[in-house]
Structure 1
Amino acid sequence: MKIHYKTVLSIIAFFICGHALAEEIKLDFVISEGIDSARPIAVLPFSWKGVADRPLHDVSSVVGADLRRSGRFNPMARHELVQQVDKYQDVNLELWREKGIEAVVVGNIEEQPDGRLKVGYELVDIFRKQQEVRNGELVNVDRNRLDSYTAFVNAKDLRFHAHRIADRVYEKLTGERGAFATKIAYVSVDRSQTKPYRLMVADSDGFAPQTIFASTQPIMSPAWSPDAKKLAYVSFENGRSEVYIQDIYIANSRKRVAAFEGINSAPAFSPDGRRLALTLSRDGNPEIYVLDLTSHRFSRITKKINSIETEPSWTPDGQSLLFTSDRGRGPQIYKQNLASNRAQRVTWEGNYNASAALTPDGKTMVLINRTNGIFHVAVQDVETNTMQTLTKTSLDESPSLAPNGSMVIYATVYRNRQVLSVVSTDGRFKARLPSRQGEVKAPVWSPYLN
């Protein structure tokens, strides 16, 4: 989400992107660790009534894959399903209890005369029981339907609507909002193209990648606006680093917001979307600034000499900034309150900590930690300062949190190729999103979509 401390060093030398990456055509999802501890569930095939033999997308496969890649659930394989029904009342609870399945998802899709699709879904808790008084006696009764709803969607939106169903299932079963119906942005490069550098946006599972901007020069550090409609990013199209903001849904909406001599980098939207934090060297030293997007005025936040200040990220309340600074003889994370202008160091473990961001509840900080020369994604408890390494990969960078704070997407190296990976913030679940060709970098997870 931000330009990295070590990359700022390269920008100073300007030859920042000498090792280019090839553009990703489609991302796959390969689970590498954590599924053994997941809850057993079943997602039954949604029935279909329509002119075609089947709908354009297999909704149940999308829902099941989403729940599996959350690390919380282990959907039963389709060939092992003991029933294939599409309504709650037809679910045989005893059959599923014998298999140890905790919850079953059923649904149906019906094509409408106007071409839209009527999608119905129900979530069944197989073991749930409640007690009622009947004829003066306390008896156990089944109250198994946890959720149900019907929606009308355009056929082209069916797959993304499946993500919304997965979000509902996830929230009902965990009490935490799901984050499947979201987007990711990332940078890819394909030197065989006239404009090899691409800013891409795809669904959270890597499906349906679209090029937002293409250039002959490097693109870096994408950052989402809080309404998930805009991306800020760094482009070198004019021979130097410049910061742009672009509405991903409106054509010809690119706007250059920072193009000073020297470094213009690491944009980060404030939680209210009215300000943009970024790194500028307009006064000689790389410092943190905040741009008011209404008045277009810059305010300098840090004022250190002979140190690099970069990678700003906002606290959830919008009152403070986290950033990376080497003012203490090595890159560490600092927190500065915007009202008092007081900065304090918040990381102490390891000789390199960078790229920090807070979870939505403000209780956990995700960052890149270097210990024994290896870069890992780590989390630090804000209250106790206890740090935990989440990954076993090396050369990790660009960590970005899912909007519910449960997962981190990041760039890393796997078998000598740069790939995207995800890890749960408790470290138990890990997966890779390798490209089918080339390499990818600088991932950033979108906020919730309206």
Structure 2
Amino acid sequence: MWQRRAFLGAASAALALPAAAQFRVEISGVGATQLPITIARFRDEDKSSQAISAIVRADLERSGVFRGIDVPGVMDETVQPVFAEWRSRSADALVTGSVTRLADGRFDVRYKLWDVAKGTDLGGQSHAVTVPDLRLAAHRIADTVYEKLTGEKGVFSTRIAYVTRAGRRFTLRITDADGEGGQAALASPEPIISPAWSPDGRELAYVSFETQKAVVWVQDVSSGQRRPIANFRGSNSAPAWSPDGSQLALTLTREGGSQLYLMSREGGTPRRITHSSGIDTEPVFSPDGKQIFFVSDRGGGPQIYRMPAGGGNAERVTFSGSYNISPSISPDGRLLAYIARQGNSFKLATMDLGSGTTTQLTDTTDDESPSFAPNGKLLIYATRAGGRDVLMTTTLDGKIKTRLLSSGLDVREPVWGPYGR
């Protein structure tokens, strides 16, 4: 595989991380056009364990579509705003709400969205949730606001998986899309790399070195039950799900060099689909399931190729530069994200698969593991900043970036989960 680092996105420590190790959001950059929006502080949200309005605002700002307008005080959903006042503050939209503790211990989270420019009520919702689901309620509010105002589906209530390292303690974590909350899915003193979500979001495939060799496992996200899928002679790595969830593509060395194979999600005998003299690895299916993109050095240096999903002739995709790896395909199949080496730097780039136009998105030097959000509007990736391994999200034009800051942990190998939570 084309890993450049000793820590690639590794396995997990024996304990779930403490709250102090959670993330906070730091947003930088300015988009060409952003809708100014005010998220007023919800009435009585301070009586719950989560700052609902702050979570909603951070979600919307991270999308790159919205610019938050500060406002003092509290506003609940029952009060009609004075639109002229909000227009004078340059807000085009306003979100108000409340958080009420119910007799059974749950919280009733309510909100309303107002179109300030038109002076109209765009509706609202109520979510009755337990304490652990307060953050999810906030993310779902942000999703609804995003969809109401853009016409596109939001991704804030989806999940991501990533790997943290603290010394020799590695943890595979599943969290909200902003990197907070969630759970430790696996803890190990040995590396875990290459997590991959099943299309229905119920399972994760990954590579664990817990038996002192690379073995591909599949784990049920809810129950934690897991099973080894590929434990053949040599190395077993780089799992990727087919869009229908019925099979996985992966890289095996069971017959010598690293080559691509297909196998059932239940395991069994793998079927080899590449037969090159080079190293073939990092497979990923196209969204329609008809093609597999992968990395190969069959032409001399690592480049991205594609071929029919069942095997066949491979076509080279990347030609700019001598080293291009880690393909990720947008949900609409139009955009390829990948890591390109430029000198001694590794940078996130995209390619329009129709025109071949490439765009460099970052100015960092050690980017890895790009993964598209399920709506195709954001990318998450790993990089190095301030002497730490960190996670970032970026808009597709590279103008709005969000750094998810951890507390003393190295974080790698992010992958964005599907809709359907």
CA shift digits 1:262-319 (9 cap, x unpaired) = 12100111111111111001111101111112463312111111x1100011100111
Q: CA deviation at 1:47?
A: 1.9
Q: Does 1:64 align with 2:57?
A: yes
Counterpart pick for 1:100 among 90, 99, 110? 90
Measured in 2, the distance between the counterparts of 1:249 and 1:85 equals 37
Residues 280, 105 of structure 1: alpha-carbon distance in 2 compared, 3 angstrom cutoff: same
Q: CA deviation at 1:37?
A: 4.8
1:249 is aligned with what amino acid?
S
Counterpart pick for 1:47 among 43, 46, 65? 43
Measured in 2, the distance between the counterparts of 1:431 and 1:161 equals 21
CA shift digits 1:74-113 (9 cap, x unpaired) = 112243x6xx432365111111111110100112233322
Q: CA deviation at 1:202?
A: 1.6
* 3-state secondary structure, aligned to 1:384: coil
The answer to whether the Cα contact below 8 Å between 2:11 and 2:208 also exists between their aligned partners in 1 is no
The answer to whether the Cα contact below 8 Å between 2:197 and 2:418 also exists between their aligned partners in 1 is yes
Measured in 2, the distance between the counterparts of 1:379 and 1:20 equals 25
Q: CA deviation at 1:31?
A: 1.5
- Which runs of structure 2 are paired with 1:138-287 in the superposition (5 Å)? 142=119, 144-191=120-167, 196-251=169-224, 253-287=225-259
The answer to whether the Cα contact below 8 Å between 2:9 and 2:162 also exists between their aligned partners in 1 is no
Q: CA deviation at 1:321?
A: 0.6
* 3-state secondary structure, aligned to 2:104: coil
Greater C-alpha Rg: 1
2:51 is aligned with what amino acid?
D
Measured in 2, the distance between the counterparts of 1:183 and 1:42 equals 25
| TM norm structure 1 | 0.87
The answer to whether the Cα contact below 8 Å between 1:35 and 1:74 also exists between their aligned partners in 2 is no
Q: CA deviation at 1:368?
A: 0.7
Q: CA deviation at 1:209?
A: 4.5
Alignment coverage as a number of residue pairs: 415
Q: CA deviation at 1:221?
A: 0.9
Residue of structure 1 equivalent to 2:263 = 291
Residues 22, 261 of structure 1: alpha-carbon distance in 2 compared, 3 angstrom cutoff: closer
- Which runs of structure 2 are paired with 1:325-404 in the superposition (5 Å)? 325-339=296-310, 341-404=312-375
Q: CA deviation at 1:226?
A: 1.2
Q: Does 1:121 align with 2:111?
A: yes
Residues 417, 156 of structure 1: alpha-carbon distance in 2 compared, 3 angstrom cutoff: closer
Q: Does 1:437 align with 2:399?
A: no
The answer to whether the Cα contact below 8 Å between 1:22 and 1:439 also exists between their aligned partners in 2 is no
Q: CA deviation at 1:232?
A: 0.8
Residue of structure 2 equivalent to 1:132 = none
The answer to whether the Cα contact below 8 Å between 2:372 and 2:380 also exists between their aligned partners in 1 is yes
1:233 is aligned with what amino acid?
Y
The answer to whether the Cα contact below 8 Å between 1:183 and 1:203 also exists between their aligned partners in 2 is yes
Measured in 1, the distance between the counterparts of 2:152 and 2:115 equals 17
Measured in 2, the distance between the counterparts of 1:20 and 1:416 equals 18
Measured in 2, the distance between the counterparts of 1:37 and 1:295 equals 48
**Structure 2, unaligned stretches of length 5 or more?**
none
* 3-state secondary structure, aligned to 1:395: coil
Residue identity over aligned pairs, in percent, reads: 41
Residues 433, 21 of structure 1: alpha-carbon distance in 2 compared, 3 angstrom cutoff: farther
The answer to whether the Cα contact below 8 Å between 1:396 and 1:412 also exists between their aligned partners in 2 is yes
* 3-state secondary structure, aligned to 2:367: strand
**Structure 1, unaligned stretches of length 5 or more?**
11-15, 129-141
Residues 428, 386 of structure 1: alpha-carbon distance in 2 compared, 3 angstrom cutoff: same
* 3-state secondary structure, aligned to 2:132: helix
Residues 219, 18 of structure 1: alpha-carbon distance in 2 compared, 3 angstrom cutoff: closer
CA shift digits 1:173-192 (9 cap, x unpaired) = 11211111111111112237
The answer to whether the Cα contact below 8 Å between 1:125 and 1:146 also exists between their aligned partners in 2 is yes
Measured in 2, the distance between the counterparts of 1:110 and 1:188 equals 36
Residue of structure 1 equivalent to 2:29 = 33
Greater mean deviation of Cα atoms: 40-49 or 438-447: 40-49
Measured in 2, the distance between the counterparts of 1:340 and 1:263 equals 21
* Runs of 4+ more than 6 Å apart: 18-24
The answer to whether the Cα contact below 8 Å between 1:26 and 1:209 also exists between their aligned partners in 2 is no
CA shift digits 1:240-263 (9 cap, x unpaired) = 110001112114x11001111212
| TM norm structure 2 | 0.93
Residues 20, 270 of structure 1: alpha-carbon distance in 2 compared, 3 angstrom cutoff: closer
* 3-state secondary structure, aligned to 1:289: strand
Measured in 2, the distance between the counterparts of 1:199 and 1:19 equals 9
Measured in 2, the distance between the counterparts of 1:18 and 1:339 equals 29
Measured in 2, the distance between the counterparts of 1:68 and 1:119 equals 21
